[in-house]
Amino acid sequence: MIIANNISLLNKDVQQPVLNDADIPAIKKISKRADVFDLLAKSLAPSIYGHEYIKKAILLLMLGGVEKNLKNGTHLRG
């Protein structure tokens, strides 16, 4: 739990990742691997050893979900 009475924004700039021509084939090569889910789970917080199920759950929370558009026009990302 975090209790705060003041939050200061340190940086307003959102930096998009910059991909070069060599990155796209490398990403496609990784996506064709059979163990891509395990690879991503091991790459998430590599300094924390073990807890693979927790890392996979966090990975699914970060990347998963379904988009929802409510009747009143509200858009919720998944």
Q: Which domain holds residue 27?
A: 23-76
In a domain, 10, yes or no: no
In a domain, 14, yes or no: no
In a domain, 15, yes or no: no
Q: What is the pLDDT of residue 62?
A: 86
Count how many domains the chain has.
1
> Which tokens hold the place of 9?
């924004």
Residue 16 located in a structural domain? no
* SS3 track for the chain: CCCCCCCCCCCCCCCCCCCCCCHHHHHHHHHCCCCHHHHHHHHCCCCCCCCHHHHHHHHHHHHCCCCEECCCCCEECC
Residue 8 located in a structural domain: no
Reading phi first (left if > 0) and then psi (alpha if -120 to 50, else beta), residue 73 is in left
Residue 29 inside a domain? The answer is yes
The pTM of this model reads 0.57
Q: What is the pLDDT along the chain (78 residues), one digit of tens a residue?
A: 677 787 777 777 767 788 899 999 999 999 999 999 999 999 988 888 888 899 999 998 888 777 888 888 888 776
Within-domain flag for 37: yes
Q: Is residue 31 part of a domain?
A: yes
